[in-house]
A and B are shown apart, each in its own frame.
Chain A
Amino acid sequence: MLTLDGVHAGYGPIAALRGVSLEVGEGRLVALLGANGAGKSTTLLTVMGVLKPSRGTIRLAGESLVGLAPEAIVRKGVAMVPENREIFPALTVEQNLRLGAFVRYDRVRFRHDLDEMVALFPVLGERLTQPAGTLSGGQQQQLAIARALMSRPRILMLDEPSLGLAPRLVEQVFALIARLRAEGRTILLVEQNVTRTLDIVDYAYLMNMGEIEAAGTPEDIRRRVDVASVYLGGQRAEAAP
């Protein structure tokens, strides 16, 4: 479904991605792991077209995404839940969801999809007319995911959905992702919570300092890589520049 091949990208002269290649097959849940500053979020932002790759190719079902504006990439079928959720706090829950459906907006289908999301996230259904800023952190995360799903994406990208949540809510988020995977959705999951992530994914990539350091099934990764070193690697990466 989504293929990155030798992608280089960065912020101005600073190279954040140095030849990243990865693949997310249809219906698969793939993780991109690594410490802070490894380039995980940058990878997602580059797929979304927020950052332009200086080299390499990005394809969705064989079609190149390179050079397209973010809004065009969404239309192609990519949806993203960014780090920190970035919901619109002043808008109501329902308005947030309407924006999620912007690329395929019509009233009838919106009602239908809204009902579907309410079934998936009952707590949002109770709060449709409340400003999204009044939701708790866990509820905001649910809203961010629901908002992304409203575009009926071919691939969903989640950037650290467990970040900043209480342990009980972290469990909920991982259970939700496992459920979305069971529904047959294609997901690229960026996480720092390595142990927990490896429990639910089909395949994982390890990133360090803008490069893919290792890749494999969760069993492979557990066998070959000392999980703690993922964090240590990140510390090296942070100390480097």
Chain B
Amino acid sequence: MIYSDIALDAILVAVLIDLFLLKTEMLTRGIFWISYALILPFQLLTNWWLTSRNIVMYSAADIIGRRVAGAPMEDLLFGFSMILMTLALWDYFKKFTSR
């Protein structure tokens, strides 16, 4: 599997965990989308820094080839899935540890 496939799967897994496994329902909450909107510009900035200086490089055969702020667009899928997964787990464990 190439990066594009795995990144899409990562989104699917994060969505399933958020909505059905932990039932944190981040995707339905305004606070999640505002958090994402604040983090996204910083992701683009750091992505640009890491890729424009060739600190991180990608195998051309494993990406679709469309780039956003220097990085493969797959990075945005990866970023979204990790932010969703992080906040879903956080919301769950915050309640879990305060019991």
Q: Do A and B share a complex? A: no
Chain A residues within CB distance 8 Å of chain B: none
